[in-house]
Amino acid sequence: MDKLRYQSFLDMLDVQSNKIFKNWMSELSISLIKQQELVLIVKKGHRRVNIECSANYASTDDQQFLTLFVRDITRRKVNERNLKKLATKDALTGLSNRNVFNQQLSQSLKRANREASKVALLFIDLDLFKSINDNYGHNVGDKLLVLVAKRIARDRRATDVVARLGGDEFAVILHNIDKTEIICKIAAVIISSLKSTYKIENTECHIGASIGIAIYPENATNATDLVKKADAAMYKAKEAGRNRWMLSEAHPKHQQQQLDFHELQI
């Protein structure tokens, strides 16, 4: 904080913090808020410093007293952001974790109910992943999961949710796609992308994926049932030979037995 000496305190605050500080000062005598977090801009290098201001206010009949203490809380804010990331992100892949997935799915269904739209849930389970861990070790398996996560998330829209549920299980929540055919094509493209060779530590790995698809409100009207339907459809895909997708309670024209990936384009 030595670099901040002899500089105007207000001039060092960013625009938003400047407004917050002035409002806080003007209301301090009647407010119960005695602490305020602000952001300082260190002119040299334009570094941002998170600070916490604590104020003690007192007054007599003819005088007012204000003592202001400033403390650097940058490290604390970094730790808070890291803890928040750990609470919402999968530590290995950086995708949303199971807790965020459950929250997002519930919110998606509520929004879809209001807007009379559809939500598609894709449950993805890797085929033959256990053999990768057994043959090459968990280090290679973890690196493979990171690459898989990137391929699943690739080309997804900002409104879509991609999550790792644990182990080699992933999920994708798709919003506002009215045509079932498009949902199925998205699943097919994911399967096709995951089939490509992975080169990890001079090792070539090959895996596949089985995907179960459930659509709100056609297959289920709540999050719990939608998850069950997608999970059951995924196991049916595995039983049918793996490396394919299956629709939950789908009409025959939508059910897949084999896919020509070269002909599927979105």
Query: Which of 80, 86, 54, 51 shows the shortest CA–CA distance to 67?
Result: 54
Residues 184, 259: one domain? yes
- For range 204-228, the mean pLDDT: 95
Q: Render pLDDT for 20-62 as a digit per residue (tens, 0 to 9).
A: 888 888 887 777 677 888 887 776 657 888 988 888 777 777 7
pTM of structure: 0.68
Q: Render pLDDT for 62-86 as a digit per residue (tens, 0 to 9).
A: 777 778 888 888 888 888 887 776 6
How many structural domains is the chain composed of?
2
Q: Render pLDDT for 232-245 as a digit per residue (tens, 0 to 9).
A: 999 999 999 999 99
Q: Is residue 149 part of a domain?
A: yes
Distance, CA of 107 to chain centre: 14
- For range 108-136, the mean pLDDT: 95
Q: 197 or 28, which is more confident?
A: 197
Residues 35, 104: one domain? no
- For range 131-152, the mean pLDDT: 95
| 251: pLDDT strictly greater than 80 | no
252 prior amide bond cis, ω within 30: no
Residues 99, 144: one domain? yes
| 144: pLDDT strictly greater than 50 | yes
Q: Is residue 48 part of a domain?
A: yes
Burial, 216: exposed, middle or buried (Cβ in 10 Å; 0-12, 13-18, 19+)?
A: buried
Residues 64, 100: one domain? no
Answer yes or no: are the C-beta atoms of 41 and 12 closer than 8 Å: yes
Q: Range of 100's domain?
A: 89-263
Residues acting as catalytic residues: 168
